[in-house]
Amino acid sequence: MTDTPLERGETLTLFYTLGSPIALWSLRYNNFGKPIQVPAPQLAHYYPDLKGEWLNFFDKDDVVGFPLKTLNEKYAAVVTEDCQVDVGNFPANMTPAAHMGYWTDRDVIGPIAAALDRVWQTING
């Protein structure tokens, strides 16, 4: 492996959190956290037409996942959108077991797949 822009995180474009515990961790610390920068500040140097995003998917029944934009001003500026979804199958989707349903939910998979396609199209024409 060599020291490439990818390895240095300079091409980070898309970031998705699914039922993320970041908000729970924020309860442990005053002035919680400095989020990662999405997209990476150097991205425009390599791909000036590429637009990045950080989507945070959460289910109101999931006791682990919460909105992130409201944590502080830094998260509000970096997280593109908190996306409330209803994941899992009945009756689990109405319980904390909803946490297990993100990876198979169309409302989560669809926007991620569309963004991957958009990035590929932008880079490859």
Would you say residue 1 lies in a domain? no
Provide the domain count of the chain: 1
Would you say residue 77 lies in a domain? yes
Residues in the chain: 125
Distance separating alpha carbons of residues 50 and 45, to the nearest angstrom: 10
Mean pLDDT (the chain, rounded): 91
Answer for the pair 18, 83: CB distance below 8 angstroms, yes or no: no
Would you say residue 39 lies in a domain? yes
Would you say residue 69 lies in a domain? yes
Would you say residue 2 lies in a domain? no
Would you say residue 8 lies in a domain? no
Which H, E and C letters describe 11-45, residue by residue?
CCCEEEEECCCHHHHHCCCCCCCCCCCCCCCCHHH
DSSP H helices in the chain: 22-26, 43-46, 73-78, 106-124
What domain range is 25 assigned to?
Answer: 14-124
Share of the chain above pLDDT 90, in %: 71
Share of the chain above pLDDT 70, in %: 98
Would you say residue 19 lies in a domain? yes
pTM attached to this predicted model: 0.90
Distance separating alpha carbons of residues 118 and 53, to the nearest angstrom: 12
Would you say residue 6 lies in a domain? no
Phi, psi of 114 (to 5 degrees): -65, -40
